[in-house]
Amino acid sequence: MPPDPLSLPDRVRIACAWVMDRACSVRIDEKAVEAYAKTLPAAAEPAQPDPATQIVEGDRELRAAFVICLNAINFGSGWWPTIRKRPGHSGYFTIAAGLTERFRERGAWLAQELAELTTEEIAVVVGQDAEHPLMADFAAALRDVGEQVLADHGGRFTAVIEAAGSRAPSDRAASSGMTAELDGSAPALADLLAGWAAFADVSRYDGRAVPFFKRAQLVAADLDRLGVESLTGVDRLTAFADNLVPHVLRVDGVLRLDPALAAAIDAGEPLEHGSPPEVELRAGAVHAVELLAAAVGGRLCPAEIDHVFWNRGGDRRYKAIPRPRSRNTAY
């Protein structure tokens, strides 16, 4: 079978638009999009890394390893109410702080060490009980990263980035006249990582596969945003479909939810991962961000708009309302 000529982000945005054409529980208030776009900043918010939760020093190999490892375990939001949080830290930042301290004190894991990582070891790093279900999932994801880096990239995390630079556009794309991503692009790196079990993120809806690949795309965006690697095509990435972006869009009136779904979320009931309403929430967020990017005339790309919403979601107004929760390894 010939390779798909479409980039990974294009496959995501096409699938999400397809879902929203059929959605029953979530809809986008397209009349609100134009006005809401005016609330977005005039320019992208500058990256302001927090040394407490991000490695901002060290060589390129260390920083690349940190970004890849952190995003490999950047899931578990459905479990956040059950983990032991650091004072003043959310669930995500609790995990990120533990990983940051480990890298700062002991350096990056060697690929072989990651491939042999135990549940107990990662639990110590992030300050949780080894019996918590997330710890086994974290360990499995990091072991896969170690195995992939060891087997295909000579044990070097920077070689993963370099491998994305050697991924040439397919002959089918060239012959069809379709746009193919440049070598060394953020979409090419996301596409490479999407083949790893650690970054798996595809749901099914009405019999069709719906790719999201939130964390695979986020690796590429973070490497570029944090100055680890300059990648082309960051503007082609989609929003990073999790539970926070749809929450912000719901609170701000862009996403409209069926009353039954809204009531379930407000009651704190977990959504089944892969269920139609959960897929529609994620797809709705991705597609709404695409509409917003178009409404601002490309002044902000989807990844930049996503970053705006990530920051907005930390405000008291958004925290006062329950956000959708789903226990999975996607986000």
- How confident is the model at residue 41, as a pLDDT? 96
232 three-state secondary structure:
strand
Rg (the chain; Cα; Å)? 19
DSSP 214: H
What is the average per-residue pLDDT within 150-173? Answer: 77
Closest CA to 288 of 266, 311, 306: 306
- How confident is the model at residue 169, as a pLDDT? 40
pLDDT at 170 over 70: no
pLDDT at 45 over 90: no
pLDDT at 21 over 90: yes
- Let me know the angle formed at the C-alpha of 139 by 319 and 158, rounded to the nearest 5 degrees: 90
In which band, very low, low, confident or very high, does the pLDDT at 166 lie, cut at 50, 70 and 90? low
What is the average per-residue pLDDT within 70-90? Answer: 97
In which band, very low, low, confident or very high, does the pLDDT at 144 lie, cut at 50, 70 and 90? very high
* DSSP codes joined into one string, 33-55: HHHHHTTS-SSPPPP---TTTS-
pLDDT at 176 over 70: no
* Helix (H), strand (E) at residue 189: helix 186-193
pLDDT at 66 over 80: yes
- How confident is the model at residue 266, as a pLDDT? 98
246: tokens are: 């749809």
- Give tens-digit pLDDT for 216-274: 999 999 999 999 999 999 999 999 999 999 999 999 999 999 999 999 999 999 999 99
- How confident is the model at residue 4, as a pLDDT? 55
- How confident is the model at residue 287, as a pLDDT? 98
CA 112 – CA 196 distance, rounded (Å) = 16
pLDDT at 39 over 70: yes
Q: Across all residues in the chain, what is the average pLDDT?
A: 93
User: Which range has the worst mean pLDDT, 112-116, 144-148, 176-180, 271-275?
Assistant: 176-180
Amino acid identity, position 242 = D
Beta strand segments in the chain, E: 26-28, 202-205, 208-211, 255-257
CA 12 – CA 191 distance, rounded (Å) = 11
Residue predicted with more confidence, 1 or 324: 324
- How confident is the model at residue 2, as a pLDDT? 44
What is the average per-residue pLDDT within 297-311? Answer: 96
The most distant pair of C-alpha atoms in the chain lies apart, rounded to whole Å, by 56
- How confident is the model at residue 165, as a pLDDT? 84
What is the average per-residue pLDDT within 52-81? Answer: 97
Q: Residue 7 CA to chain centroid, in angstroms?
A: 17
